[in-house]
Chains A and B, each alone.
Chain A
Amino acid sequence: MISIKNLHASIEDKEILKGIDLEVKAGEVHAIMGPNGSGKSTLASVLAGREDYDITKGSVTFENEDLLELSPEERAQKGIFLAFQYPVEIPGVSTTNFLKTAINQVREARGEKALDAVNFLKLMKEKMKLVDIDQSLLSRSLNEGFSGGEKKRNEIFQMAMLEPKLSILDETDSGLDIDALKIVADGVNKLKTKDTATIVVTHYQRLLDYIVPDYVHVLYKGRIVKSGDKSLALELEEKGYDWIKEEVAAV
């Protein structure tokens, strides 16, 4: 589905990603772990199209198309979804209105007919159950005054509404208590199909108890330095990141 080759990215002349190679196929869940400052969130942002970063080398193809050529909205329209680490508060824009605009722009780009109010509400009701989100929250200004858990749930709710092919969860677990974590993970699992893929960016192994990855990659100093299956995550949980750092230093 997505193929990342030798990807280099920098911000203000500081190189953050120093040659990432990653291949994610439909139906797979990949976890990207790593210590703070290793470049995990940069990778997520670059894939979603944040323009603060300069891509200096490498390529990303998404369903055989050059992803790096596309604007953030085109990427979303083609089926990429980023669940933000820090969802932005937007005063005066209700989640409902915002999502209606978003869905209909995505549908328009895909050559589909716009959803009318009735069908939109039907879809919303159905997806609200999935992440146990309350109607009153959705009529409020987008993320404004939401608790951390509410913001993250709202991200997964948006993901459910937009039905992306590739979902990138950027530290969706950080700051969540165990109940909120379960709700979020449960939502993600229910949305998984054989045609969709998920990249889970996380600092902690905890989330991976609930969203079980097929592959685990360790990102360190802008490179993937180790890949394995879910047992790698457990090993990291037990031993921390120091042994990885030592291994890299020894090479």
Chain B
Amino acid sequence: MIREETTILDQLTSSFQGNKTQKEALEMLNEIGLPHKKSEAYKFTPITSILKKNIDFSATAENIFDAKKLYEEEGSHLVFINGIFSKDHSKFSNTLKFEVGDVTEGKHDPFSLLNTAYAAEEVRIESGQEAPVYVYHFNSNGMSNPRIKVTIKDGHTFRLVEKLITPEDTKTFTNSYIEFSVGKNAFGYHTKVQNYNDATYSHETVVADVAKDSHFYNNTFSFEGAMVRNNLTINLDAENCEGHMYGLFLLDKKSHVDNNTSVDHMKPNSYSNEMYKGILDEKSTGIFNGKIYVRQDAQKTNAFQSNNNILLSEDATLHTKPQLEIWADDVKCSHGCTSGQLDEDAIFYLRARGINEKNAKAMILKAFALETMGHIKVESIKDEVQQLIDQKLT
């Protein structure tokens, strides 16, 4: 029997043209393979077989760039087309330091390796400008492997917003990889808006290495998508640093979004806070898996996690799994998850004050969803997400 995860790789290998690092990544990947049916980490997201069925890996990508609504906000606008940075379509201030270069090493899980092996280039951005950086990925046919590494220097504050735009009539697979290296006493804010469609397949890796006295924030808003997997990893390998993870998956149709997050407390006195919320309608599927590691050295760690979900339809599916591994003995950790229907008592209460049923439901759901908007530091994105939530829940 031919394993399906090897057939994708075999198909790809014929077109491989990477450097030494990439070659090594490919070898490693060939050894471990892409996730298969029995891979625990992809238990509810059979991404390999779904990709094999839906994505034409040999397709030639088209340019679907669309300037609509771009460049309006103050800041730098970096455009990537099918995983390749396009200077012509980008608009940025000359204070922004960045370079396009050869692929360097990344994480060693299958999709990170896949990105390392097949990324055409690596875009390295350095903090230094105050205004936010907007990154737009316009991806078309086949597979795209955008790869970004961000360095936030000591004492800097840096904001980065990421969006992926894909066509509605062509199935696309985006395998993105972004790495943040947050210096001492620095603040990093990363916001992702995933307003996709039913032809969007993606695997999106976000890694942050946080240094002493620094904070990293990630907000991920997922609204639609054929199959979306978010792998978020925050490494707190220093004292007095913080990791914040906020997520909302507000889904309908047959959307499938899998949030796999992990925060690793390695040194004493660090803090993490995670809040993910799901609202699932129609035949959608939402998955939350939140890992918290507290290593033996990481005494006085504070780690909090919550995942609350509302199911609006009997056909919607939810899987939630908190995973705590604690090796230190003097820590404060808490986690909680709930899932249920809309609270009928709350709806009746609002209706008894004259608010009609539809508005009452919308009011409760919006309030529930908006709580995940904490710490977005880019006003235009705040407004945009709020509008998307309004639109979806009205």
Listed in ascending order, the chain A residues whose CB lies under 8 Å from chain B are 48-51, 71-73, 75-77, 81-82, 84, 87-88, 90-93, 98-99, 101-103, 105-106, 109, 141, 158, 162
Contacts and interface: CB of A to CB of B under 8 A. Distances in A.
A102 B350 contact: yes
Contact of A93 (B345, B354, B356, B364): B364
A133 to B, nearest CB: 16
Contacts of A93: 363-364, 367
B57 interface: no
Nearest to B371: A92
A195 B348 CA distance: 27
B370 interface: yes
A103 B355 CA distance: 9
Nearest to A92: B367
A141 B364 CA distance: 11
A80 to B, nearest CB: 8
B349 interface: yes
B352 A72 contact: yes
Contacts of B349: 84, 87-88, 90
B45 to A, nearest CB: 29
Contacts of A75: 352
A52 to B, nearest CB: 8
Contacts of B394: none
Nearest to B358: A73
Interface string B229-255: 000000000000000000000000000
B354 A77 contact: yes
A144 to B, nearest CB: 10
A109 B352 contact: no
A49 B353 contact: no
Find the residue from B351, B357, B370 having the highest chain A CB count within 10 A.
B351
Find the residue from A48, A72, A84, A106 having the highest chain B CB count within 10 A.
A72
B367 A76 contact: no
Given A88-B343, A88-B345, A92-B368, A105 B351 contact: no
Find the residue from B343, B353, B357 having the highest chain A CB count within 10 A.
B353
A49 B354 CA distance: 12
Interface string B363-387: 1101110110000000000000000
Contacts of B364: 90, 93
Contacts of A77: 354
Nearest to A99: B353
A90 B354 contact: no
A84 B350 CA distance: 11
Contacts of B351: 49, 71-73, 76
B352 A48 contact: yes
A90 B357 contact: no
Interface string B155-173: 0000000000000000000
Given A88-B346, A98-B363, A101-B363, A76 B371 contact: no
B363 to A, nearest CB: 6
14 contacts: A51-B348, A73-B352, A76-B353, A77-B354, A88-B349, A91-B371, A92-B367, A93-B363, A98-B353, A98-B363, A99-B353, A105-B356, A106-B353, A109-B354
B343 A162 contact: no
A167 to B, nearest CB: 12
Given A88-B346, A91-B368, A76 B359 contact: no
Contacts of A51: 348
A82 B355 contact: no
Contacts of B366: 92
Contact of B350 (A98, A106, A109, A162): A98
A90 B344 CA distance: 11
B345 A158 contact: no
B346 A105 contact: no
A105 B359 contact: yes
A109 B343 CA distance: 25
Contacts of A90: 346, 349-350, 364, 367
A158 B343 CA distance: 21
Given A92-B371, A98-B355, A102-B354, 19 more contacts: A71-B351, A72-B348, A73-B351, A73-B357, A76-B351, A76-B353, A77-B354, A84-B349, A88-B343, A88-B346, A90-B349, A90-B367, A93-B363, A98-B353, A101-B355, A101-B363, A105-B359, A141-B367, A158-B353
